[in-house]
């Protein structure tokens, strides 16, 4: 990372006689502690609620459609508009986080999908439902990438792919738990209860995010104006060191200038980028297709609403097992390859090859590409 204009030695011009602390190296060399685990837990909680609210409309659809006099075929528009909102939210709130901070955007987007999930519970027409699901989707799409990115910033580089997988499991857990909750709530309280819970829970999480979620340390260094906050966060990571001024913080990771997306298609990254995108597309296509339509299709076959929703939630349990199983295998293979690389050192960018495929690991690979 280049925190600003630098002199020929590679250090910031304003370093002067100040002590220079390489934050990336410090995090890599320090054992993971309570501060990092708290950060990942909060980010995982955001994705858990994200997963719940993303799948909620599919779980509620068999009861929602007749209640609002919506033809079941028209529910395809409701499912689709939610995904359009996800795309818009990711495209809008991702870049905004680079300017205003990931913590702020995680809080804003969590509030956004919480408020509009509550508004979905009050919907009384097809048109209102479409609007509320689109706006909810915008919040959901903005929360996920910022929470994932923030969580890995405080973990050693060797553990970032594992961190991405763990945080992503929060999304799947939320989808699974949401299914079982919906199976119990729908027969007793109706479809609106599903969205009521999906709105209240994120709002209740907001005070914890405001109080305990740190800002991305990479962005703090890049912006270069909040050294005291960086020092406080590093003191929580390594209490044995003092970061009293004068001190200058740098990060040894390289960030290329210009629009981040274009770097996914430079220096030989195009094939890997395209393959990762294809994996994402197919994985999400199958996931959302099944999660959205399975409750309706199963219920249409004469199976009770509760059982139809519970069966769909069980699909998410398989996803949790698959993610953790693949990540466990990837971690063992990565350790073996890294050990061999340390002896032969054929490529300084080996970390990218260790972060590949499928969905959660594809995210880590994408982060590596962007660097």
pLDDT tens, residue by residue, 190-225: 999 999 999 999 999 999 999 999 999 988 988 877
- pLDDT at residue 182 tops 70: yes
Least confident of 178-182, 248-252, 262-266: 262-266
Contacts (Cβ under 8 Å, ≥6 apart) of 159: 32
Burial category of 96 from C-beta neighbours within 10 Å (exposed 0-12, middle 13-18, buried 19 and up)? middle
Nearest to 57 by CA among 201, 175, 189, 206: 175
Beta bridge partners of 12: 6
pLDDT category at 159 given cuts 50, 70, 90 is confident
All domains of the chain, ordered by start, with CATH?
12-23+238-252 (no CATH), 31-227+254-370 (1.20.1250.20)
Please compute the mean of the pLDDT values over residues 85-97 and round it to a whole number. Answer: 92
**pLDDT interval class at 17 (50, 70, 90):** low
Q: How confident is the model at residue 260 (pLDDT cuts 50, 70, 90)?
A: low
Average the pLDDT over each of 100-104, 224-228, 311-315, 322-326 and give the range with the smallest value: 322-326
- pLDDT at residue 1 tops 60: no
What pLDDT is recorded for position 256?
A: 59
**How confident is residue 19, by pLDDT bands cut at 50, 70 and 90?**
confident
Classify the C-alpha dihedral 330-336-337-339 as positive or negative. positive
E strand or H helix at 300, and its extent? Answer: helix 270-300
What pLDDT, on a 0 to 100 scale, did the predictor assign at position 50? Answer: 96
User: Residues 263, 264, 266, 267: what is their CA dihedral angle, to the nearest 10 degrees?
Assistant: 110
Alpha helices by DSSP H, 213-253: 217-223, 227-237
- What are 247's strand-pairing partners? 19
Average model confidence (pLDDT) across the chain: 83
Question: Which of the pair, 269 or 345, is modelled with greater confidence?
Answer: 269
pTM: 0.82
Confidence class of residue 18 from pLDDT cuts 50, 70 and 90? confident
More confident residue, 352 or 4: 4
Q: Note the pLDDT of residue 365.
A: 44
pLDDT band for position 129 (50/70/90)? very high
pLDDT the model gives residue 266:
83
Cα separation, 229 vs 273, in Å, equals: 35
The answer on pLDDT for 51 being more than 50 is yes
| Residue 167 scores a pLDDT above 50 | yes
User: What was the pLDDT predicted at 175?
Assistant: 93
Scanning the structure block, which residue is given the tokens 């430079």?
266
Residue 122 pLDDT exceeds 90: yes
């Amino acid at each position: 990372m280049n925190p600003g204009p630098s002199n020929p030695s590679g250090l910031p011009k304003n370093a002067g006689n100040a002590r220079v602390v390489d934050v990336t190296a410090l995090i890599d060399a320090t054992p993971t502690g309570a501060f990092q685990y708290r950060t990942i837990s909060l980010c995982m909680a955001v994705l858990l609620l994200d997963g719940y609210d993303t799948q909620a409309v599919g779980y509620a659809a068999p009861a929602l459609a007749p209640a609002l006099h919506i033809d079941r075929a028209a529910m395809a528009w409701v499912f689709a508009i939610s995904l359009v909102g996800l795309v818009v939210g990711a495209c809008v709130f991702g870049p905004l986080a680079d300017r205003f901070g990931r913590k702020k955007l995680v809080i804003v987007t969590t509030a956004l999908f919480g408020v509009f999930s509550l508004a979905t519970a009050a919907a009384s027409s097809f048109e209102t439902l479409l609007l509320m699901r689109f706006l909810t989707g915008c919040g959901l799409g903005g929360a996920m990438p910022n929470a994932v990115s923030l969580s890995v910033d405080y973990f050693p580089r060797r553990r970032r792919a594992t961190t991405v997988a763990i945080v992503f499991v929060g999304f799947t857990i939320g989808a699974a738990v949401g299914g079982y909750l919906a199976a119990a709530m729908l027969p007793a309280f109706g479809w609106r209860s599903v969205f009521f819970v999906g709105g209240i829970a994120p709002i209740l999480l907001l005070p914890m995010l405001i109080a305990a979620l740190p800002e991305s340390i990479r962005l703090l260094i890049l912006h270069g104006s909040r050294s005291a906050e960086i020092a406080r966060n590093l003191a929580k990571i390594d209490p044995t060191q003092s970061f009293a001024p004068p001190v200058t913080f740098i990060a040894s990771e390289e960030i290329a200038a210009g629009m981040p997306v274009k770097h996914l298609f430079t220096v030989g990254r195009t094939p890997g980028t395209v393959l990762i995108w294809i994996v994402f597309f197919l994985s999400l296509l199958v996931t959302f297709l099944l999660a959205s339509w399975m409750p309706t299709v199963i219920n249409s076959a004469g199976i009770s609403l509760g059982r139809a929703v519970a069966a769909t939630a069980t699909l998410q349990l398989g996803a949790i097992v698959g993610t953790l199983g693949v990540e466990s295998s990837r971690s063992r293979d990565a350790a073996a390859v890294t050990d061999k690389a340390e002896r032969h050192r054929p490529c300084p960018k080996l970390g990218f090859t260790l972060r590949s495929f499928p969905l959660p690991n594809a995210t880590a690979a994408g982060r590596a590409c962007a660097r």
